């Protein structure tokens, strides 16, 4: 049990830390259009994997793409609408069963549970579908932001240098600087 809890916590921490790399989606979507996305080597988020992950667990694709809060919102919405659906249909079935008691005669059926169950079912179907579409968009937009960061960033690397000059039999020591714009 402790091992499972430890693994779950490690996965949660890694999801939270993965969101540090990219700017928030709410800011990125104002600048980038997901329809203009062109896949490049080195993109950290795969839109197809994010969509498939959200198919199995709504919100997981957003968490993979670095939007943990957004993913938890989709997951919570799915759980809440499923709970509303189950509660509504349970209430309606209880009302339906209690209206036909043989010794007490017929009473009126309460349809509010049916309406509540249908509303919950609509949410339980719509939110996961929306989550799949949103996960692919989040991955594409965040990838576009990272692609732009790679284009506009400056890379500087400093490394030690040891060279051997054969004619003078002296060894040169120093640092080499590599700059990429």
For the chain, give every domain's residue range. Answer: 2-180
Please report, to the nearest 10 degrees, the dihedral formed by the alpha carbons of residues 95, 97, 100, 101 taken in order. Answer: -110
Residue 21 has pLDDT above 90, yes or no: no
Average pLDDT over residues 17-22: 48
How big is the chain, counted in residues? 181
Residue 18 has pLDDT above 60, yes or no: no
pLDDT of residue 138: 92
Please indicate, yes or no, whether the overall pTM of this predicted structure exceeds 0.85: no
pLDDT of residue 120: 96
């Amino acid at each position: 049990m402790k091992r499972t809890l430890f693994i779950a916590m490690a996965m949660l921490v890694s999801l939270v830390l993965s969101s540090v790399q990219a700017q928030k989606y709410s800011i990125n979507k104002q600048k980038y259009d997901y329809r203009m996305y062109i896949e490049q080597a080195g993109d950290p988020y795969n839109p197809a994997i994010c969509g498939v992950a959200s198919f199995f667990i709504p919100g997981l694709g957003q968490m993979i793409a670095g939007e943990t809060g957004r993913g938890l919102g989709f997951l919570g919405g799915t759980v809440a609408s499923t709970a509303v659906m189950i509660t509504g249909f349970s209430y309606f079935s209880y009302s339906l069963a209690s209206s036909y008691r043989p010794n007490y005669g017929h009473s009126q059926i309460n349809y509010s549970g049916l309406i509540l169950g249908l509303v919950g079912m609509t949410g339980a179907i719509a939110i996961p579908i929306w989550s799949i579409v949103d996960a692919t968009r989040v991955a594409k937009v965040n990838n576009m932001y990272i692609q732009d960061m790679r284009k506009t960033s400056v890379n500087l690397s400093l490394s030690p240098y040891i060279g051997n000059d054969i004619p003078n039999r002296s060894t040169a020591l120093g640092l080499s600087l590599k700059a990429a714009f």
